[in-house]
Amino acid sequence: MLLREKIPRHQYRPSRNENQAVTPGPPEDGSSNRVLEALARVLMPLVRLLIARGITYQATAEVLKRVYVLAARKHFSPGEEATGTRLSLLTGLNRKEIRRLTEGETKAVALEGITSHAAAVHAVWITQRRFRDRGGAPRVLARYSRDGQPSFDELVRQITTDHRPAALLEELVRLELVDVDPEGGVALRQRPFLSAGSFQDKLLPMAENLEDHAEASVSNVLGHQPPFLERSVFSDELSEESAATLHELVRRRWKEIHDDLVAQAIALEKEDKEGGKVTKSRIRVGMYFYSQTKDPK
């Protein structure tokens, strides 16, 4: 089949005040089955991951219960309206289960860490002129600033004040992204940001990326205006070699987009701060590529 753009066919509905509590009723168009069918497709690769890691249905079902309660509280029961009865009506769980699940602070499985901040440090290091030499390569940075020279601690403070520079340096060393010489100079290894190793390091970006992609898609389906950008290109008559060629093209284009976005984001954050603007908005921009060999008919 010829190359074509896949444009999601979202059904837009009038937006409402997100703080207004609404109890969802039965769909008028009988779309519940279609929603569940779409959910099954989305869940398939995730269930593959669960099975690969020996996580049973029972353990997953417990997490799903907690997610139901969290979503009902956050999106449909603001403030004092999050009673046990209301949460039971919204989720289909009985009130005894609701009480058990809401004892203390309700949480799904949380992935916490500073790996994402380490990735941001890496991105600023390779894109911001102050931290590059005359040839455009990342500088070897002293830990602390001397005579106005750029330092590793200065770089980190541009990204976050939630973590100490020493902690982020330890994380970058663990990920095998930097080397520290005997004089304390910190040198960035010449390769793209890829976690060297642990399974845990790969879970956090996966969860963050899929979560925000799903948020954007669901917001569009439910009628968010203006809709978030969500487009893809599909082709199913390619050789494996051609698929690999396109993969490399996407990698190159993403590098260009990535570097430009980092520079623009840093400049706009500085501009917003200097202008005294309220800075409570966040963004995530991504690109993905997937290919597979079709099953023979």
Q: Which of 291, 117, 106, 107 has the alpha carbon at shortest distance from 204? A: 117
CA-to-CA distance for 214 and 8, rounded, in angstroms?
13
The arithmetic mean of pLDDT across residues 88-96, rounded, is 93
Ranking 78-82, 161-165, 233-237, 257-261 by mean pLDDT, the lowest is 78-82
The CA distance from 266 to 259, in Å, is 11
- Say if residue 245 is exposed, middle or buried (CB neighbours under 10 Å; 0-12, 13-18, 19+): exposed
Residues in the chain, overall count? 297
Task: Give this prediction's pTM.
Answer: 0.68
Q: Compute φ and ψ for 105, nearest 5 degrees.
A: -95, 120
Place of tokens 């669901």: 218
Lowest-pLDDT range of 100-109, 174-183, 204-213: 100-109
Q: Residue ranges of the alpha helices (H) in the chain?
A: 32-52, 57-71, 84-91, 95-101, 115-127, 152-159, 165-174, 199-221, 240-274
Is 225's pLDDT higher than 60?
yes
Is 288 or 102 the better-scoring residue by pLDDT? 288
User: What is the residue extent of each domain of the chain?
Assistant: 115-188, 238-297
**Range of weakest confidence among 39-53, 120-134, 203-217:** 120-134
pLDDT at 174: 80
Amino acid at 295: D
Please report which confidence band the pLDDT of residue 93 belongs to, taking 50, 70 and 90 as the band edges. Answer: very high
The DSSP call for residue 18 is T
